[in-house]
Amino acid sequence: MEYFDDPIMVNGSVTADGELDIDQLTWQNQTYSIISSGRQWDTDTGRHALVEAAGNIRFEVALERSSFAWRLKRVWRNQATA
């Protein structure tokens, strides 16, 4: 697991019930298609979600409440992609 606080671009939406629905994210000039979404939770700073991209790469992303900016918080990479 690697920790970050990097800005990311996200193609997705927030559902009527406040859930993050993410289709793609772009980080460090690479775009990842999201194949599944997991747990979501709120903190003082925003809404967090766990998502998985092809290649067994998992991300924790956050939508900051104050600025509506997306941030990448953590990455878990498949050993073959590290």
CA distance 41 to 56: 22
Domain coverage including residue 54: 2-81
Tens of pLDDT, residue by residue, the chain (82 residues) = 999 999 999 999 989 998 999 999 999 999 999 999 999 999 999 999 999 999 999 999 999 999 999 999 999 998 654 4
The pLDDT assigned to 79 comes to: 62
CA distance 47 to 63: 5
CA distance 59 to 70: 12
Q: How many domains does the chain have?
A: 1
pTM: 0.89
The pLDDT assigned to 18 comes to: 86
Length of the chain as a residue count: 82
Largest CA distance in the chain: 38
The pLDDT assigned to 81 comes to: 46
